[in-house]
Amino acid sequence: MINLTQKPFYLTEEQSAEVIKLANHLTDEEKVGQLFCLLGSIYSDDELNRLVSDYHVSGFLFRPMPADDLQKKWARLDQLTQIPLLKAANLEEGGYGANEEGTYFANPLQVAATNDLEITRKFAKVCAVEGKAAGCNWNFAPVSDIDFNTQNPITNVRTYGSDVQTVVDNVKCYVKNLQQNGMAAACKHFPGDGVDYRDQHLHPTYNSLSAEDWYASYGRVYSEAIDVGLLSVMVGHIVQPALEKEINAKLEIADMLPASQSKQLLSGILRGKLGFNGLIITDATIMGGYCMSLPRKAALTASINAGCDMFCFSTDFYEDYGYLLEALHDGTLSRERLDEAVIRILALKMTLESMSYPQETIESIAWRNECADKSITLVKDIQHLIPFDRERFPQIEITVVGEDEIAEGYKISLLAENYFKSQGFEVSHYHPLEDDLHGTSQLSKDKLRLILVNCPTASNQTTVRINWSPKHALDMPRFVDEETYAMISFNNPYHLQDAPRVRTYINAYSPTKASVLASFDKMLGYSPFVGVSPVDAFCGLVDTHL
């Protein structure tokens, strides 16, 4: 029997009884509908109405839109159900993940680079307040992975780094402060991404740590988040063989399922050994990592039987809904597990409805600027370039690699041009397709070649590496002995692996105007570099130090 009066729900006896009573009065159809949190943006308003009123869907996540529009959408849907909705958002980088007027505060790795948990507290508060301003009450964050593998294309700047203690401290701080400000947190992606070099969006991936190493790393992250009252966990489509064997020594590797379908990992480890009593939701079931391990009906049934309480998104909701009803009626879906799942869903809703939290003001822009100032990291400067001025380099040639446009519609190239012109520099832009191979005799000693890199971390990529120009890679730092180069990355912190001989390299972590301008200020010596790298920006390579 689930005790709803204990951590993390802390319901009163009366509230607990109300949840149990409601769960007992729901029909099978209503219970199955409660299992789903759908991607609302793919449905028309009429279909959304039907999903709530006829299928009793539990919640939705909408892509960012103006706060007033999202509030109105929630209000309309609220009128169609007596059971409160879970109103989800991906607020990994700030309130803009739900609210178009919200703040792109920073990537989590940038927050960690400040080495200041007060910034993490402010970050969580901005996410909560701006998310709630759009009507949301459940945040699919923090990313609680550890970026052990520099080649992983999806963890990267979404994590708090590769140091276990740093990740533990930041995750705990974020969870505690987000929930104190009236929004449920969901640590993800249990049992932990960042070991494999591949993306679970594309196929199941593996956390291959030994059980001992897992408990000392990911296990600590989740255990300590649970200790501070974590309300929900999002489980990844990630296999953890050592933990599977710990619970069932007879399992063979071919029999091991991703956590989102694994009874060993959910009931055995997360519920059993870590003592988590909150809600468990799958990561998106549209992902390759979910779809490839079992036939669809079997996968859905396995998830609930294993210990999941909810599904995130659906390839075809009506098909999935029908599969689960069939499984319930033919006995392959445990009725006991269905009832437990529904009770935890209703308990989370009751907890959110009864939350009291301070109505405090936030200073989103000032706090974002503070984060940028404290995080920008001078990784390498073996040529002693920093600081420099226009007497030393009167000319700056800007090369943008990757995406020029960043948050809020700004362009890195224009921000750089306007900034350096305002400081008295001559500014030009380099376009490799307009150039040709050349020697070194005509190269200028008075020009700084500034390479600005923005290669975003995003789902469904096999790698996040620099792709130099197809024309002879003319934009790479080629003549490092004849010209002076500096490189700044506004996303991936590992680009030294693709430009190991560049002699000045800066990590700015987030593609925001604040990070761009703070980087330039520090290059010119207007403020010091104080950021501390949360990862090995040298990628474990010898030549990146040269």
264 and 406 housed in the same domain: no
Burial class (CB in 10 A: 0-12, 13-18, 19+), 359: exposed
Question: Could you tell me if 522 and 529 are in contact, meaning their C-beta atoms sit under 8 angstroms apart?
Answer: yes
Determine the pLDDT at residue 361: 85
- Edge-to-edge order in the sheet of strand 447-454: 377-381, 504-507, 484-489, 447-454, 395-402, 426-429
Residue 143: its H or E element: none
313 and 386 housed in the same domain: no
In a domain, 46, yes or no: yes
What whole-number distance in Å separates Cα of residue 67 and Cα of residue 44?
Answer: 18
CA-to-CA dists, residue 517 to 168, 255, 368, 372, angstroms: 30, 52, 12, 9
In a domain, 2, yes or no: no
Question: Could you tell me if 22 and 346 are in contact, meaning their C-beta atoms sit under 8 angstroms apart?
Answer: yes
Catalytic site residue from 145, 147, 193, 283: 283
**Is 80 exceeded by the pLDDT of residue 359?**
no
283 tagged catalytic = yes
Question: Could you tell me if 183 and 131 are in contact, meaning their C-beta atoms sit under 8 angstroms apart?
Answer: yes
- Residue 37 pairs in a beta bridge with 59, 312
Q: Which of 320, 354, 388 is the last residue of a domain?
A: 354
In a domain, 132, yes or no: yes
Determine the pLDDT at residue 188: 98
207 and 347 housed in the same domain: yes
Q: Which tens digits make up the pLDDT trace of 42-67?
A: 999 999 999 999 999 999 999 999 99
Strands 377-381 and 504-507: antiparallel
- Mean pLDDT value across residues 216-222: 98
In a domain, 366, yes or no: no
User: Which runs of consecutive H residues, i.e. helices, occur in 79-197?
Assistant: 108-113, 117-133, 164-180
- Mean pLDDT value across residues 377-387: 98
404 and 327 housed in the same domain: no
The confidence band for 389, taking pLDDT boundaries of 50, 70 and 90, is confident
Determine the pLDDT at residue 43: 98
Tokens of 278: 């909150």
304 and 442 housed in the same domain: no
What whole-number distance in Å separates Cα of residue 233 and Cα of residue 280?
Answer: 5
Determine the pLDDT at residue 513: 98
212 and 314 housed in the same domain: yes
In a domain, 100, yes or no: yes
The confidence band for 437, taking pLDDT boundaries of 50, 70 and 90, is very high
- Mean pLDDT value across residues 293-305: 98
Residue 451, classed as helix, strand or coil, is strand
**Is 90 exceeded by the pLDDT of residue 406?**
yes
Question: Could you tell me if 535 and 150 are in contact, meaning their C-beta atoms sit under 8 angstroms apart?
Answer: yes
The confidence band for 35, taking pLDDT boundaries of 50, 70 and 90, is very high
Q: Which of 354, 388, 410 is the last residue of a domain?
A: 354
36 and 116 housed in the same domain: yes
Q: Which tens digits make up the pLDDT trace of 228-280?
A: 999 999 999 999 999 999 999 999 999 999 999 999 999 999 999 999 999 99
- Mean pLDDT value across residues 388-412: 96
**Is 90 exceeded by the pLDDT of residue 31?**
yes
Residue 212: its H or E element: helix 211-216
Mean pLDDT, the chain, rounded, equals: 97
Determine the pLDDT at residue 360: 74
Tokens of 335: 């009725």
Tell me how many domains the chain contains: 2
Determine the pLDDT at residue 358: 77
CA dihedral (262, 267, 273, 279) positive or negative: positive
Q: Which of 296, 322, 354 is the last residue of a domain?
A: 354
381 and 335 housed in the same domain: no
What whole-number distance in Å separates Cα of residue 140 and Cα of residue 149?
Answer: 23
Determine the pLDDT at residue 490: 98
| Enclosing domain of residue 145 | 13-354
Residue 50: its H or E element: helix 45-53
Cβ count near 355 (within 10 Å): 15
The confidence band for 357, taking pLDDT boundaries of 50, 70 and 90, is confident
317 and 441 housed in the same domain: no
Question: Could you tell me if 344 and 278 are in contact, meaning their C-beta atoms sit under 8 angstroms apart?
Answer: yes
What whole-number distance in Å separates Cα of residue 455 and Cα of residue 313?
Answer: 27
Which stretches does DSSP call E strand in 374-418?
Answer: 377-381, 395-402
Question: Could you tell me if 109 and 159 are in contact, meaning their C-beta atoms sit under 8 angstroms apart?
Answer: yes
What whole-number distance in Å separates Cα of residue 466 and Cα of residue 393?
Answer: 26
Go through 310-325 and write b for each residue having 16 or more CB atoms within 10 A of its CB, e for each that does not: bbbbbeebeebbebbb
297 and 245 housed in the same domain: yes
In a domain, 212, yes or no: yes
The pTM for the full model equals 0.97
Residue 460 amino acid letter: N
492 and 425 housed in the same domain: yes
CATH of the domain at 396: 3.40.50
CATH of the domain at 107: 3.20.20.300
Residues in CB range of 214: below 8 A, 6 or more apart: 191, 192, 207, 240, 242, 243
Determine the pLDDT at residue 250: 96
Question: Could you tell me if 380 and 504 are in contact, meaning their C-beta atoms sit under 8 angstroms apart?
Answer: yes
What whole-number distance in Å separates Cα of residue 453 and Cα of residue 456?
Answer: 9
Residue 349 amino acid letter: K
In a domain, 8, yes or no: no
Q: Which tens digits make up the pLDDT trace of 153-199?
A: 999 999 999 999 999 999 999 999 999 999 999 999 999 999 999 99
Rg for the chain, CA atoms, rounded: 25
**Is 80 exceeded by the pLDDT of residue 79?**
yes
What are the helix and strand counts (H, E) for the chain?
A: 18, 16
233 and 297 housed in the same domain: yes
Burial class (CB in 10 A: 0-12, 13-18, 19+), 26: middle
What whole-number distance in Å separates Cα of residue 493 and Cα of residue 108?
Answer: 12
In a domain, 31, yes or no: yes
Q: Which tens digits make up the pLDDT trace of 101-136?
A: 999 999 999 999 999 999 999 999 999 999 999 999
